[in-house]
Amino acid sequence: MEELEMAQLEAEEKMDKAIAAYERELTTVRTGRANASLLDSISIDYYGVLTPVKQISSITIPEANQIYIKPFDKSSLKAIESAIFASPLGLTPQSDGNGIRLILPQMTEERRRELAKLVAKMSETAKVNVRNVRRDLNDQIKKLELPEDDEKSALEDCQKLTDKKIEEVEAVTKKKQDELMSM
């Protein structure tokens, strides 16, 4: 029975990690409000090492629709500017010689709907990841050769855990979609 409890705890931990990864992925979806996490995916070649922009600069939000990036080393300004311009963010960096200002344009209704669909697609991927953990746990339970009643009970517990985690994914998704549509 101890083996079963360990497997269940491990599965729950994996499901939590899948949800956390989904939440991190959602931070890259622009909502119209300035958020420093929009720059998480942008890295530059800094003295031969691929370095995230947030590690080599200070990032501030002076207004609701602006991000200001001030590199610690001014020589990296051009590289940061180029990386932002080449990124899929679709933003035009404006350099003032000391830093870079990104102005987020107001999103159209059509763009909001596109992003809501993207969030729904990302949600499905997260749910699949949770269900894959459930499948693995079910396989482990069946390999343990438990008495029939215990096995049935363990499989039901696994399904309850999965349902709970799927609800968490749906709650996170709804929150993000509401955020997108409320601008």
114 shares its domain with 162 = yes
119 shares its domain with 176 = yes
CATH number, position 53: 3.30.1360.40
18 shares its domain with 44 = no
167 vs 4: which has the higher pLDDT: 167
In degrees and rounded to multiples of 5, residue 46 shows phi and psi of: -115, 105
Which pLDDT belongs to residue 90? 76
CATH number, position 122: 1.10.132.20
48 shares its domain with 70 = yes
Q: Which domain holds residue 6?
A: 2-28+108-181
Distance of CA 84 to the CA centre of its chain: 19
Three-state secondary structure call for residue 34: coil
Q: Which of 44, 72, 103 is the last residue of a domain?
A: 103
106 vs 17: which has the higher pLDDT: 17
Query: Is the predicted pLDDT of residue 135 greater than 70, yes or no?
Result: yes
Q: Which of 103, 137, 160 is the last residue of a domain?
A: 103
Could you give the number of structural domains in the chain? 2
Which pLDDT belongs to residue 65? 86
Query: Is the predicted pLDDT of residue 28 greater than 90, yes or no?
Result: no
Which pLDDT belongs to residue 114? 85
Q: What is the pLDDT of residues 29-83, one digit of tens each?
A: 777 677 888 888 889 988 889 999 999 999 999 988 899 999 999 999 999 999 9
Q: What is the pTM of this model?
A: 0.71
114 shares its domain with 146 = yes
Q: What is the pLDDT of residues 138-179, one digit of tens each?
A: 999 999 888 999 999 999 999 999 999 999 999 999 999 988
Which pLDDT belongs to residue 32? 67
Which residues have a Cβ under 8 Å from the Cβ of 57 and sit 6 or more positions away?
69, 70, 71, 72, 76, 80, 99
